[in-house]
Structure formats: C-alpha cells, structure tokens
Structure 1
Amino acid sequence: MKKVSLDFLKFQFVLIAIISFSFSVHAQKSELSVEKIMQDPQWMGNFPSNIKWSADSRTIYFDYNPEKNTSDSLYKIELNNTSKISKVSLKEERNILPAYGDFNKSRNEKVYSENGNLMLYSVKSGETKQILELPEAISNPKFLANENKISFTAGNNAFIYDRKNGSIQQLTNINKGKAKEKKDEDLSDKDAWVRNENLELLEVVNQRKTEKEDREAYNEATSEKKAFQFYLEDQTLSNLKVSPNTKFATFKLISREDSKSTNVPNYVDESGYTVDLPARSKVGEDKTKVKLGIYNFEKDTVYMLDTSQLPGITDLPDYTKDYPDREWEEKEREVAPATVYFSPNGKAAVANIRSKDNKDRWIVEIDLESGDLKTLDRQRDEAWIAGPGMGYAYYGGASMGWLPDNKHIYFQSEATGYSHLYLLNVKTGEKKQLTEGDFEVFNPQLSNNKKSWFLTTSKVDAGERHFYKMPLMGGKMEQLTTMEGNNRVFLSPNEKQMAILYSKSNQPWELFLKKTRAGAKAKQLTKGQTEAFSSYDWREPEFIKFKAEDGAMVPARLYKPEANAKNGAAVVFVHGAGYLQNAHKWWSLYFREYMFHNLLADLGYTVIDIDYRGSAGYGRDWRTGIYRHMGGKDLSDQVDGVKYLIDNHDIDPEKVGIYGGSYGGFITLMAMFTEADTFKAGAALRSVTDWAHYNHGYTSNILNEPADDPIASRRSSPIYFAEGLEGDLLIAHGMVDVNVHFQDVVRLSQRLIELGKEDWEMALYPVEDHGFVEPSSWTDEYRRILKLFNESLLEE
C-alpha cells in the first residue's frame, strides 16, 4: 500500500470541510419564501384600524376585512356583547356621529357640519337634527361662550347662528379679488398712455367717464357709512376663527407663487401615451408667504400682525460662520404663523409662530385691540425645531391650548432635550414643566372635567408606549396600560373605557378593551391572524444597544439564526424616513421587511436593524445628530453596528451586506460609496441620490437650502461619492415615484457609467410609486435582494 503523507490527509480533511460547509449553507431551508411573504398582505390576516367610539360610549367602531374584500369595511363591537363582531349597515354608518365637531361645556350637546349643513346632536336623546342649511357649505362650527350661539364659517366669512330665535348674523365682510378697478396711478406706463390717448380721441367715452366719477362721488358723500369690506386680492383665506365672546376673528392669508416643478413621466398610462404626472418642486423653491390678521368687529376693521419685533427675528444661523468670504445680511426673517388659540372667555389669544428657516418658534400673546405681540416663550434650535407635539410651520398641529382658568396655556417643548409638557401663566410669565425625564410625551389631552391630563409617553422604555393620567397642574403620572409593546389608546367619550390598539414586535395589531383604571384587566376583542401566518414561529427580535464611535449607545433589533444554520454573513437593514423609529417592541411599519429578516435568519444570516442618529423616539440630540451631514453619524452608526456583530456574534468581515428604502436607500448608497471596506454588497431602494433634488419641507430643515449651505448639501449626497463603489450594488426604483423622483437614479446611473463602474445593476418598476403596491413588484424586488446577498456574501 502506498504511504499517504499526513499533510495530504490534512489537506483533504480541510477540503471536505469547506465543501461540506458550502453545501450546508446552500442547503439551509425555511418555511418562508420571498413569494410567500411578499404576496397580498391579506394572507397574514385581518387586523383592525381607524378606531372610534359611538357618542354614547356603548359601541366601538373600526375598519375590518374578514371577508377579504378589495378594501376594509366598517365593523362594530357593542360593550353589552363584546364577543360579537358585526358589520355596520350603510344606514347605520350614515348615522354615526363624526369624531370632529365641538361639544358644549357640559358635553351633553355636540355641533358639527355634515354635507355642508349645521347639525346638532343631543347626548341625552341620542338624536341628531339639522338646524341650518345655507347655499354655501357650513364648516368649523363652535359653541361660543354664550352657548345659545354657534359660530361657523361659510365661504370666506364668519357667521353666528342664534339658537333661540333662529337668526343668522354675518360677522365679517371678506371678499375675493381687489377692492376696485385699477386707478390711473396703478397702471403701467404703457397702459396709462394707451388709456389717456383713447380718452383724448373719443369725446363721448371721456364724457361718460367724467359723469360716472361725479355720480360715485355724490353717492359716497350722501350715503350712510358702509360696513367695512376686506379684499383678499391674490391671497387665500385660511383658519378663520371667531373669539368665544364674538368680538374678534383671526385668520391667515396665504399667497403662493408658482414654483418650478419636476414632472414625472408615466410610460404605462392606460391611454397608451406617455403622460406627465404633476410632482413636487425641489428644495429652495418654497415661495409661500403667510400673514396673520385680526378682524375687530366693534371697530369694523382689519389689521395685520407685525412680527418684525419678535426677539431674534434677524438672528443669523450658526452655519454662516462656515462661509467667511460671504457677506450675510442681518434682515428680518420670514415667519409662518401656524394657529391662534382664544382663551375660553375670548378676552385673550396666543399664537404659535415659526420662522420659515425653522430655527425659531415663538409663542406670543396677541393684544386683540392693537394687534401688538408679546413673546411668552421662544424656542431656538440651531438645527431645526421639531419633535413630538411641536407641530409644523403653516399647518399647525402642535399640542397647545388654554386651561379653563383663562390664565394658563399649555404646550410642548424640547428645552430639556426631550419633548415634554409645560404650562405658562400668561399674566405672570411663570413657566412650569409638568413632565420630566429622558423620555418623550405624545398627544396630551385634557379630561372632560378639565382636572386631569391623559397622555402617552415612552417613560417605561424608548421602545414602548403607555397611557397615563396626571393631575392638571402636574404630579404623579398613573400608568393605565401594562402590556409590553405599543398601546394606542382611544378613550370612550365618557372616559370610562379604553379601546386599545395593541401590538408586539412579533404580533400584529389587535383590539383590546380595558376600564380606565390602572388595576383593570385588558380583554382582547379581535384575533385576526390566519392559520397560514400564525403557523410560523415569528421571531421576537433581541433588543440591544451597542457603543458608537462617539460613545453613544445605539438601539437596534437583532435577528439571530440557529447555531447550526449560521453562515457567518450579516445583513444591515436601514429604515426609511430618517425621523422614524423601528428598533421598538411593537409591530413594525416595515412588516414585509420584518418577515424577510425572519427568512434571512432561517437561511443563516444575522440581521441587525438600527435606530441610527436622526431616528425618532430618543430626544432632540438624537433627532438632530444628522444636521448638515446626512451620511455622517447616521452612516457611522451602521458601521459601528457591523463592528459590534464582528466582535460579539462571530461575523465574517468579508460577508456583510446592507439594504434599505428611501432614506435607507440613501444610506445604502453612501455605505457602498464611502465604506467599501465594511460593506461588500448593498441594495438601494427608491433612494435619494442628490439632496439638492429632494423637496423643500424635509431637506431645508436638515441641510438648509443648497444655495445658502452648499457644504451640507454636497457632503450629504451620494452622487458626489460614486467613484468609491467597489462592492456589488443593486439599485431599484419605481418609475412613477412622485416623492423621490426616478430622475435621481437616472442621474446616478449616468455617473456610474462615466466612472466605468461594472458591479452594479438597476431594476425598474414601471407602475410603482414611492411605496410599492403590487405583490409582483415586491416579489421581484426582494428576489433580487436575496440573490444579491447569496451570491455576493456566500459564494466564493
């Protein structure tokens, strides 16, 4: 027998081990498949949404679809038989009291508009009756301090309906267009010359003009004083509000100049022709102007508020220091008044005003007689004002209002680094913080009796949401929910019951019922998972924190494979939207991606899903960590997450991929272009490639305007770093995307072509917008992503 050397035997053993490992990697199986998880979501089950209560607090209504129709229908559960779920008839649905409208102080009547008519609901009788119909649609009805009177708007004017005698009083005289025809001095030189020449040539025309002017002058001199008329000219009226004492009204005037927009061509329109879809303009194209006016009924006049004296109105942002060669003019910044809030007695009013550059928010008291402003609170952020309860410029939406004492207002602020609830005494200026700690407050609301607050917070954990009750002037918060995850509470009108939309990280949303007491037990009312969905043992991700390069502890979800399936490869998922939370303990908005991560883990991959800098839920510093540099800390957090996996979970540094959509697609591109040593493969879906081409509202907050701050825009845009591509890149994009335009990836592809890059490919989806809707598109996209990772990370 021929003698075999020991080295040769060792070589064979290693070779067999490598072959066996390679075979085992590709032999890993899963109950899941891309085709299964990307099919119509109805395969998962039927889950409630849009929860609302009947006015008598006896019935819960919600959207549901047990019959698997094209869209959801309205269903109900009555408290006297919570085991029964019934479909609501069209007749009953038409008679359900809408959630909007206004209750009186004793909450036994509610006024609202329906089909343009004024409606009144009685809680005692449960009956609704129409009390007023006008030629113009009625909207925004409110009980006044004298509850026998109801204010409402119709057209561009405010009215009062007197319930006792049925009379209607028009309060304002606001008209479209201009007050009069152009006077001679208003005409252009050309038009004035043409008019004067015409009058000189045609004697009859000139004589009639003179007679008309004489008649108008006589009528004006002999007639009684007319009511004040206010003309909108080329502006739009918004947010017309009447004070509870009917002495004043406030309104916004909005003027918009046309902005240059990017059309999105639809190549598969049903007409057979290419049709341009109207889309947004690019950052820097915001030409909207907003003014706030007061209509004084007693003086019968209007005056516009002057914001030029707001403290810090001419302050320059800090980033201007990065441009020492440029002259910056200290000038009055444009502002966007959001909403006016009248005190319950109508004698005082406060307004929420923001600078258009979003670096300042002023809460001001308005002197309703003079229109003068007194600043009660100024919030300044050198990045941008945002966070829970802070609202938006132009649109309002802030958590703000008055207490019943007519002295205190409430609002939210990030002054401590987290969004908390505050009170401010408008008489003394004293400010009181009602909640405090390293957590955030969401949706605070006054109780019916105005003695308590109901609010949701992240006090237990940043990845959980619980509902609380707290005394009006502050104090101990009583936790009313206990289930780990997210508890979205919908209080019954009488505040005795809580309908809770609840989910865990591995369980979709279901409806629960609980009495509004801390010790009460929650009862599950719906159970919608299909057998096909529930038969798989969906992972509950491990919630971890790892240390970033700057010492910050970064939250993440971790999906680990079984030890015998582990292939040494890792995939990093990057959530979209930037300001969004996904490393939490409830059912993810990214449910398809969640299921894909289960599939990847079955196949041996380790998956990490990071709430990188810029994500929601972790306070002001986390939110603004990306200011002036997207692709900075938000990307380094991904890199540090990979280092954590290598050090703690035995991941091969040569087997790391990354993927994500929208903002996640942007980060994927930056990762593939600037961190080639970390990421071998990446799938960038519906990605922003150049922030100078994205919208104004989002981009200008984080990067300022490109013309003002080109440093921020350039260092944040992947297209400038495309030469760094070394790994395998998949780009996928919907061709009718009116959010992140298809143009973004077209420009990037040309850049990659010019750079001579080879290891990239593009998948196009002709019928898809930013959020895909067709199962076939989802399936095709994720088959490509899986193929990319299998071939790039596993095959030698």
Structure 2
Amino acid sequence: MSPVIRPFAVSALALAILAGCSANTPVAQTQPSAAPVTTQVTLAAPVVAGEKLTMKQIMANPDWMGVFATNPYWSDDGKSVYFQRQPSGDALKTLYVQPLNGEASEVALDKLSDASAEGVLDQSGQRKAFIYQGNLFVKYLASGETRQMTRTNTAVDGVRFLSNGDLAFWQGNSVFRLHADGMVEQLADIRMTKAPQGVQAPSSYLAKQNARLIQFVAAQHDKAKARESFKTELGKADSTISAEPWYLGDAEVVNELSLSADGRYLLLSLQDKNYQGRSEHDIMPNYLGKDGYVDPVPVRARVAEDNPPGERLVLIDLKDRQQHDISIEGLSGFDEDVLAKVKAENAKARGETYKSEKSPRKVQLMQDWGWSQSAIQWSEDGKLLVMLEAVDNKDRWIAAVDPESGKMTTEHRLHDEAWVNYDYNQFGWLKDGRFYFLSEETGFSQLYIKTPGKAAKALTQGKFVVSDLTVSSDGKYIYYKANKDHPGMYNVYRVSLADGKDEQLTQWQGVLDYRLSPDESKLLLLASTRTQPDEVYVQHIGGKLERLTHYTSSAFASYPWQTPEVVAVPSNHGAGVVYARVYLPEGFDASKADKYPAVIFNHGAGYLQNAHFGFSNYFREFMFHNLLAQQGYVVMDMDFRGSKGYGRDWRTAIYRQMGHPEVEDLKDGVAWMVKNAKVDDKRVGTYGGSYGGFLTFMALFREPELFQAGAALRPVTDWAHYNAPYTSNILNTPDVDPIAFERSSPIEHAQGLNKPLLIMSGVLDDNVFFQDSVRLVQRLIELEKPMFETAIYPVEPHGFREPSSWLDEYRRIYKLFEAELK
C-alpha cells in the first residue's frame, strides 16, 4: 500500500453519492453488499427527472442508456439498412436489418452471408464479390441471387474483378483466377523459401569419383537431368499446366499483395520475417489465470526496444515471368538525413559533434489507422500508385510504379519537420486517369486531384479538416466530411470534379459519419448531439432528414442532462483559442460572491477531439460531469494542443515536448473559469485516463500550484515504455532523441509533486503497461513523496469493462475532489 497524506474528509452528501444512493437517502441505511461480484451486473434503477444522480447509476452497465446501433450500412438495393447491436454483457454482436419504412429485425444466422457490408463491384456494377467467413461469394445485384464460389478451410484474404469480368482472389500467398466457364487457374504461387537447387553436377571429390567410376550413379544423374529438362519444356509448351512457383527467399514474409486489373502484374510488400513487434524480454503477468496460476501474457515491444525494419516492394510480371525489385531511389528525399538537427542537438548535449551524411531511409506502405483502403492502388487501365511512409515519420509519398520496368517516380511528397499524420491519407484513381488524395500541406487536411506527371489542383481550401472521401460511381463527384462551420461540428459535402462547385448536403448541429446509398440519392448517417447518443438517420440529398432508429432509452432521454457549452478559451501562450466544454454548477449565479470549486478533465489518446457538438465517447465522464455540476462544481473538458480536428500546427505543437503546451492550455482554462465562471483558483482539480492520466502527472509535477489534486487513470509515466508506432511520431526514438523523452516523461519530473495524487491502473493493461505505474510509485517512494495513493484493478485491460471497476474508480476520484476541493 502506498503512503497516504491524510484521511479524506467527506460530507454526508458525498458519502451518499459514493454509496450509490440518492442525495436524500439516510447514510445509515446504506450497507456494503456481501454478494460476490460477477460479470453479470444487474442494471441500476433508471434515473428520474428531478432526482440527483448517483455514482452507482452512472457507472452501471451502460445498457440502461440504450443498446445502440453501430456500424450502419446500406443493403445492396438501398431499400434497407443493416446495423449491429451488442448489449454490454454479450460476447457477440447481433446484426439487424431495417427497411426504410419499417421495423428492425434480427438477421437469421443462415442469412448473414447475404448481408455483407463490404465488397467489390465489377465494371458494369452488376455483380458484387465479397468474403464471408473466409469464403468467396458473388451477388447478382439485379436479381439478388448470391452464389458461393469457395467452401474451404483456407480463408480467402482478398478479391477483385478483372477487366475482362473474371474474378481473382487470393489465399495466403497464392493468387487464383476464376474464369467465366468455371475453371480455376492459379495465377501465382509465391513461396517464401529459397529456390530448389535442381539436379546439380557432382561437386565434391567423392561425388565426382563416384560418377566417374560407377556407371549406375552416372546413369541416375543423367536420367534426373533429363526429367528436369522435360518438365521445364513441358511447362513452356503446354498451357494446361500451372505456372512454376515464385521463390523469393526465406528471409522475409509477405505483408500485402495486390493484383493488377488485367491479372498480369502482382505487387508484393515484403518484410523481415523475424520482426514481430513483440517484446523479446518481457511478459505481462495475469495474476488471476483460469487455472489458478500466474499466466505470462506476451506483450508488444516498447519504443525503446522496437526497431521496425521497413518493407521492400517486388513487382512480378506473371506473363513474361519477370521480377523487379523496386528501388526507393525514385522517392524524392529518399536518402535525406531528416533528423540531422535533432541528432546534432542530442550530440551537443553529450559533448559530441554530429556529422550529417546521406543514407537510404527505411520506408513502408502507409499504415492503415482506420481508413478502409489499401496503400496500393491500380487503375482499370493498368497504372499503379503506391502510398509509402518513411519509418522515421517525416515523409509520405504517393509514387507511380511502371509495371513494365518496376521504376518508381514521385507524384507527391508530403514532408513534415514534426511528423506526417497517420490520419487523412485517402487516395485513389478517378475514371478520367487522374487521382485524388488528401494532404495536410496547407496546415489542414484538404482534397486534391492530380494528373500523373503534372501539378496538383486543390478542390477544397480553408481552415477546416476534410476526411471520409467517397467517389460517385460516375466519377463526377467526391463526397466528403468536414468541420467548416465550427471545429467541433461536422457535415457532409460534395464537390463537382467538372467545375469545382461545392455543396453542403447535411445541416447537422453535431458530429456524424456517413455512407452514400447505392443509387447515390441518399446519405446514411450515424449522428449525435451533445446530449443525444448516436442514432441512425437517412438524409435525402436535397430533401428531408429522417430518423431511422430510436434506441436511446426513455430513462436516459427524459433526464434533464446539462448541455455543455462549447467555449473558445483565449490563450496566453500563443495558441489563439482553445476549445472546451463547460458544465456549470446547478443554480449557478454569476452575481453571487461565493466562488466555486472546479475540475478539468483531460481526454485520452492525445490526438482525439472531445470538445465537439456531438455525444462524447466518454459517456460515463459526461454523466460524471453532470453529477459534479449538481454538487456545485464547474467542470471543463479541453481540447488542448495535440487534439484532433484543428489542423497540422495544433497537432504538432507537442512535437518533442509532450505535456508542455498542453499544461499551458490547462493554465489558460483555469484562468478562463476564474474570470467567467466564478471559480476559486485555489480549489481546482484535474483528472484523466491514458494520455489524460499522463497529462494529469505533467500538470501536478511541472505546475504544482495549478491544481490542488489530481487523479491519473491507466496513465503513461515514461514514453520510452510506450509503443513505437504512436510514440516515435511525436518524440522520435530514445536512441536518437533522448532529450525529447526526458523532457516529456512524467517520471523525469516526479520531484515536483506536492499535491494529493491518485494513481489507478489495470493489471492486464496491454496498452499502457501496469509497470508504468509501478515504476512511478517506486520513484515517488524514493523521492519521499507521501501525498499519493494507488488503486489497482486485477482483471482490467486498458479500457475497463466491469461496472464494478468503473464504480470503484470514480468513487475514489469523487472522494479525492470532495476532500481536497470542497
């Protein structure tokens, strides 16, 4: 158990809230339950309008709020909508179908194969090929008939229609062609082994002697050579025989493969087979293993030990049996020392001098962080584009590859002195031979089109963020989502490729995601507002908006939740304004002399937007903030620098200094509340999870007088222990840039703690390891800091799952704030 500064002093009202009873329930009637905790948690009683919120209610199984529709998509005929629902205690999601003018019904198990969300269309738009449960299906859209094309235990990994109407698919490293007459042809058999040596001439003295002296041995060798020669000649002459395998060596594995529209060319992305992204030295112990023992769970590599090898591209001509190893020399800046300044600064700190030299950089296909497309794009007439990123995170290229020669040339280079965003990277071909792409080169993600070899043209311009591109089937429009009216408000637009005319298609006062209907006359929306969770809507383009689902419970919908005001906090640190949500105390009166306590919530992920006009993903925190407001607190929820939705400069302000600009923003938030919300600056606390926990540490350690208390949930304490894909973007790597890691890691600043701190971590957290908290606790003990407490959650991963854990966690947070801020 960690040291405690002093017992928390809690009011009777606070005890009632902590116990889960209403504000007017006698405390003496509340008794701890002796029943064992199970994963089947009974739903708490619904909230009643006019009653005070209780902690047990808002941290209960969230199904009381409603079991909402997720991942909605159109049926192939556009007459119905599919979506999933999953009660919190269920292991599986259930698929539903709802006609546009009817009620939803569960899709039967034997009908699931006909309800595929994804798929590819042939050039005529009459057939859709898709994969279900590892097998290949083709649906004839006019009739609705679906045919199963494979039924094997080897999963189909990908599919595409070829330009002549045949269907190609791949299983593992084997690529097949399904001809119109039903014949299955193996186009490519990729083997990641060394090529067989074939029949070799005797090489050693003894072998040569045997062949010279023993006629039988010599005859056997000659027969083997003859059979080998015959097989080779037969393969060339007989078109009924499948082509020979391709042997690419035993040092790599295939990460991705992509086939050209005519089925002639195959592009492969290869990576060192020994790279797993796993720690070679460590495990995560599960102390509650099912057999009663400690289970050693493998964990990801830390950025301090990870060394991504990059990838190499190989282009195979299946017709002429030629292989091209694609050189990265066609990429602009492929050998630049982009970290020269960083390396020089770190060398100087060591008393050394750094000499910059050019050297080829490691590159890889742009990693998929949620965008549903491949980084390899073939046009219907055989042109090839690839999107590559440097492993050092400073460049993203769109490059053209000549299929005949394998030569690569740069079509677009996006360079960033900080890091290239892993978001906003959609690109692809248009029907007229041009291609489209997103780029942050102006400071905001905008849409461009480009003819290969010529200059790009911007289709959108402004200080807003463009995302989620959809090209119309006739190639005349590109649909997109953007936050033009306010950084926290999103709508759907389309731009004409002929004249650049831009149209706003929705008028939503919140946030949304969309899908275009098959006939392109409607938009399917999953949309929310600040107090209304996601529901499914249909927006008729140029017409009315219709709500399709009503899954928000009456208990939740009828409760008078406070709508948080989205405010622009002026920055005293060069940031312009910082957007934040503000919850005001019940009965707030600006004319009163009394000053209020306050809490600032720090969202997770760092790169995430929460001060928007939609329903927060932090729904428990939304309710907790309502509870705090009922108990007399002002609550602020900031989109500090580094957050999503505000452009490149806002995102990269934290480069090499995580936790520094953000704390400045928190200071401005406190100043705003003091000026505008009657807040006592000596009674302000802060809390957050993951990145929010990290930021809580940095605020308490580096600005010890800013907050009077803080709670850090599942927090990062040392960035050298976090993963490479996220951390190396912002801080480079510890071997290259130790200055950035020491500047940005809370454990390096722990000596600054002088206010009460609560640290809470899940033991099974495979994202931010439990070890993070263990190391910081030991550091605080050695620094003789008595003002912290810890709480551990033995069964919880990074995102807590059990209502009992959520309840315990937030009871402790509330208890801390009541003791230190009231």
Cα distance in 2 for partners of 1:280, 1:68 equals 28
Q: Which runs of 5+ in 2 are unaligned?
A: 1-10, 18-22, 24-50, 236-242, 367-374
Length, aligned pairs only:
746
* Alignment map for 1:671-686 (pairs within 5 Å): 671-686=699-714
Is the aligned partner of 1:516 residue 2:516?
A: no
Deviation of the 1:574 alpha carbon: 0.3
Is the aligned partner of 1:48 residue 2:48?
A: no
* Cα separation, partners in 2 of 1:135 and 1:699, compared to 1, 3 Å: closer
* Alignment map for 1:515-534 (pairs within 5 Å): 515-517=540-542, 520-534=543-557
* Cα separation, partners in 2 of 1:134 and 1:510, compared to 1, 3 Å: closer
Deviation of the 1:647 alpha carbon: 2.5
- Pairing partner for 2:290 from 270, 292, 297: 270
CA contact (8 A) 1:158 1:240 kept: no
* Match in the other structure for 1:414: 440
* Match in the other structure for 2:124: 106
CA contact (8 A) 2:523 2:540 kept: yes
Deviation of the 1:452 alpha carbon: 1.0
* Cα separation, partners in 2 of 1:213 and 1:556, compared to 1, 3 Å: farther
Cα distance in 1 for partners of 2:150, 2:588 equals 73
* Match in the other structure for 1:279: 299
**Per-residue displacement from partner, 1:189-211 (whole Å, max 9, x unpaired)?**
xxxxxx97998999999999877
- Pairing partner for 1:143 from 123, 148, 161: 161
CA contact (8 A) 2:63 2:88 kept: no
* Match in the other structure for 1:735: 763
Is the aligned partner of 1:306 residue 2:327?
A: yes
* Match in the other structure for 1:14: none
Cα distance in 2 for partners of 1:434, 1:234 equals 44
* Match in the other structure for 1:124: 142
Is the aligned partner of 1:341 residue 2:361?
A: no
RMSD between aligned alpha carbons? Answer: 2.9
Cα distance in 2 for partners of 1:120, 1:237 equals 27
Q: Which amino acid aligns with 1:73?
A: T
* Cα separation, partners in 2 of 1:252 and 1:524, compared to 1, 3 Å: same
Cα distance in 1 for partners of 2:499, 2:745 equals 46
Q: Which amino acid aligns with 1:248?
A: Y
Cα distance in 2 for partners of 1:205, 1:420 equals 78
* Cα separation, partners in 2 of 1:101 and 1:529, compared to 1, 3 Å: closer
* Match in the other structure for 2:421: 386
- Pairing partner for 2:247 from 228, 231, 247: 231
Q: Decide which moves more: 637-646 or 308-317.
A: 308-317
CA contact (8 A) 1:157 1:173 kept: yes
* Cα separation, partners in 2 of 1:183 and 1:655, compared to 1, 3 Å: farther
Q: Decide which moves more: 172-181 or 263-272.
A: 172-181
Deviation of the 1:119 alpha carbon: 2.2
* Match in the other structure for 2:38: none
* Match in the other structure for 2:238: none
Identity, % of aligned positions: 40
Deviation of the 1:491 alpha carbon: 2.3
- Pairing partner for 1:372 from 382, 407, 413: 407
Deviation of the 1:533 alpha carbon: 2.2
Deviation of the 1:61 alpha carbon: 1.5
- Pairing partner for 2:604 from 573, 576, 587: 576
Deviation of the 1:475 alpha carbon: 1.8
SS in structure 2 of the partner of residue 160 of structure 1: strand
* Cα separation, partners in 2 of 1:350 and 1:93, compared to 1, 3 Å: closer
SS in structure 1 of the partner of residue 679 of structure 2: coil
Is the aligned partner of 1:169 residue 2:185?
A: yes
* Cα separation, partners in 2 of 1:68 and 1:351, compared to 1, 3 Å: closer
* Match in the other structure for 2:370: none
Q: Decide which moves more: 59-68 or 506-515.
A: 59-68
Deviation of the 1:150 alpha carbon: 1.6
* Match in the other structure for 1:629: 657
Cα distance in 1 for partners of 2:421, 2:322 equals 36
* Match in the other structure for 2:358: 330
* Match in the other structure for 1:88: 107
* Match in the other structure for 1:690: 718
- Pairing partner for 2:565 from 527, 542, 549: 542
Deviation of the 1:640 alpha carbon: 1.6
CA contact (8 A) 1:256 1:287 kept: no
TM-score, L = length of structure 2: 0.86
Deviation of the 1:644 alpha carbon: 1.6
CA contact (8 A) 2:308 2:391 kept: no
Q: Decide which moves more: 629-638 or 609-618.
A: 629-638
SS in structure 1 of the partner of residue 329 of structure 2: coil
CA contact (8 A) 1:691 1:717 kept: yes
* Match in the other structure for 2:774: 746
* Cα separation, partners in 2 of 1:111 and 1:534, compared to 1, 3 Å: closer
Q: Which amino acid aligns with 1:386?
A: N
**Per-residue displacement from partner, 1:203-223 (whole Å, max 9, x unpaired)?**
999999877765555555566
Deviation of the 1:613 alpha carbon: 0.7
Deviation of the 1:64 alpha carbon: 3.2
Deviation of the 1:559 alpha carbon: 0.8
**Per-residue displacement from partner, 1:427-467 (whole Å, max 9, x unpaired)?**
x4121011110001111111122211111111121101111
* Cα separation, partners in 2 of 1:209 and 1:646, compared to 1, 3 Å: farther
Deviation of the 1:23 alpha carbon: 10
* Cα separation, partners in 2 of 1:455 and 1:304, compared to 1, 3 Å: same
* Match in the other structure for 2:803: 775
* Match in the other structure for 2:430: 403
Cα distance in 2 for partners of 1:422, 1:389 equals 12
- Pairing partner for 1:353 from 374, 378, 388: 388
Q: Which amino acid aligns with 2:438?
A: Q
**Per-residue displacement from partner, 1:147-200 (whole Å, max 9, x unpaired)?**
2x222213412222221x222332223224221369999xxxxxxxxx979989
Cα distance in 2 for partners of 1:361, 1:117 equals 35
* Match in the other structure for 2:29: none
**Per-residue displacement from partner, 1:339-359 (whole Å, max 9, x unpaired)?**
22112111x211111111110
* Cα separation, partners in 2 of 1:173 and 1:210, compared to 1, 3 Å: farther
Cα distance in 2 for partners of 1:633, 1:198 equals 75
Q: Decide which moves more: 369-378 or 212-221.
A: 212-221
* Cα separation, partners in 2 of 1:275 and 1:387, compared to 1, 3 Å: closer
Is the aligned partner of 1:660 residue 2:688?
A: yes
Cα distance in 1 for partners of 2:213, 2:385 equals 54
Q: Decide which moves more: 317-326 or 744-753.
A: 317-326
* Cα separation, partners in 2 of 1:182 and 1:261, compared to 1, 3 Å: farther
TM-score, L = length of structure 1: 0.88
Cα distance in 1 for partners of 2:260, 2:89 equals 48
Q: Which runs of 5+ in 1 are unaligned?
A: 1-21, 186-194, 391-398
CA contact (8 A) 1:388 1:440 kept: no
Cα distance in 2 for partners of 1:107, 1:564 equals 60
SS in structure 2 of the partner of residue 459 of structure 1: strand
Cα distance in 2 for partners of 1:770, 1:698 equals 16
Q: Which amino acid aligns with 1:405?
A: D
* Match in the other structure for 1:156: 173
Cα distance in 2 for partners of 1:209, 1:687 equals 71
Q: Which amino acid aligns with 1:345?
A: D
CA contact (8 A) 1:588 1:594 kept: yes
Deviation of the 1:523 alpha carbon: 1.7
Deviation of the 1:472 alpha carbon: 2.2
Deviation of the 1:44 alpha carbon: 1.2
Cα distance in 1 for partners of 2:262, 2:400 equals 17
Cα distance in 1 for partners of 2:584, 2:215 equals 93
* Cα separation, partners in 2 of 1:646 and 1:49, compared to 1, 3 Å: same
* Cα separation, partners in 2 of 1:224 and 1:780, compared to 1, 3 Å: closer
CA contact (8 A) 2:376 2:384 kept: yes
Cα distance in 2 for partners of 1:536, 1:223 equals 79
Q: Which amino acid aligns with 2:470?
A: Q
Q: Decide which moves more: 736-745 or 541-550.
A: 541-550
* Alignment map for 1:442-457 (pairs within 5 Å): 442-457=467-482
Cα distance in 2 for partners of 1:40, 1:23 equals 26
Is the aligned partner of 1:551 residue 2:551?
A: no
Deviation of the 1:479 alpha carbon: 1.3
Deviation of the 1:145 alpha carbon: 1.4
- Pairing partner for 1:76 from 97, 106, 110: 97
Q: Which amino acid aligns with 1:170?
A: Q
